[in-house]
Amino acid sequence: MSRDTQARSRITTSMDALVSHYARQADSNLKHAHAAARADRSGYALADAMLLGQQSLEMYLKALVFMVAGMLGIDWIADIPKAREHDVYRWIFGLYACHVDKIRAPRLNAALDVPKALDFEGNALAVERSAGFWWRYSRNRDLQGLAWRHSIGAPLGDGGRGRLDEGLLSCAEVARSLAKSSSVGIPQLSRESSPGESLRDEALCPVALGARLRAHMKSPWNLGVGAAVGLKFVEYREILSRYAVEGDGGRRILQKRLTAEFCLLSLVMLAPGYLYAYPHNSMGRYPGNVVDGTTTDIYRLHSDGVRHLLLVDIPCQAWQLARVSALTRMLWRKDGGAGGVAGARAAAEGDAS
């Protein structure tokens, strides 16, 4: 085994271990968050639960980032201490920039005609815009505060909704540009209940909660972004099927690049779904004063909104990320997902029922 092969094997093994660790930790965090929210409606308990819920989504995201790093043969472990802890989308931009550099490699272009239909440069600009948005968002306390309030149904104050919509607009625009669909934007947080129904009751009734989850997965945003991810999967799978020549090293290089691109672009399209969970990393972690009380007061007063975000919205986002992971692994197979057509079609259509 050559040194290069040994190095690639070591990187893949390291990344696989990180993927497994973060995925298991994300599952554990979400379970503990749900248990805490069911057991206690106090502001401190709900703040802790929302912090765990936010951390679960962040860890699902990181697991996908590490999976792509392993596919690209990037030793990300050495870079982790240098990265800001929560700037996951800047990590995504770094990976995409590396991917674009390598897609131009002479060996790849000599082996295969890289499909001209895929706008690598345009996609790179979109991913860069997404990273820029998240860099600004992570430092904009006013915008995060508005998103935090809106996520749990707390009042935004005079002009608050307008500032929130304007502040989140660029994230939606990037997602729409990659999806090529106006139906992909900022998700609406619907909390309507039937008479006599509350999220406290639903938290204790798996049947009712399951029905609400299925209904939420059919909301315009979830359907729109799910369809966009599915169409991109089909597009990339069809490209790979054109190069299904046994033993073709160039095809395998292309498969590596397109699989990574599919995953990273899908994460950027799903980014608006993470906007409302993100502020709970600081608001749930550090109790503090706000204009109408304390953060724990707000969590307690809007406990139904907290429960909806934690028990309905966040699990739906986690499911979307799990679907991207499954489709990415399908593209990574030797047949590029071309085999098992029925399974690939079902996965692409994203039936969450």
Identify the pLDDT of residue 350: 57
pLDDT tens-digit map of 328-349:
999 988 666 655 444 445 555 6
pLDDT score for 170:
95
* Buried b / exposed e along 18-52 (16+ C-beta atoms within 10 A): bbeebbebbeebbebbbebbbeeeebebbbbbbbb
The per-residue pLDDT for range 67-103, each reduced to its tens digit, is: 988 888 877 666 554 555 557 777 788 788 777 766 6
How far the first Cα of the chain sits from its last, in Å, is: 46
What pLDDT is attached to residue 295?
A: 95
pLDDT score, position 76 = 65
Instruction: Look up tokens 């609406």; give the residue.
Output: 188
Taking a C-beta distance cutoff of 8 angstroms, is the pair 111, 253 a contact?
A: yes
Q: Which residues of the chain have pLDDT under 50?
A: 81, 110-111, 195, 340-344, 353
- Residue 321 CB neighbours (<10 A): 23
Task: Report the percent of the chain where pLDDT is more than 70.
Answer: 75
Q: Are 321 and 61 in contact (CB under 8 A)?
A: yes
Predicted pLDDT at 353: 47
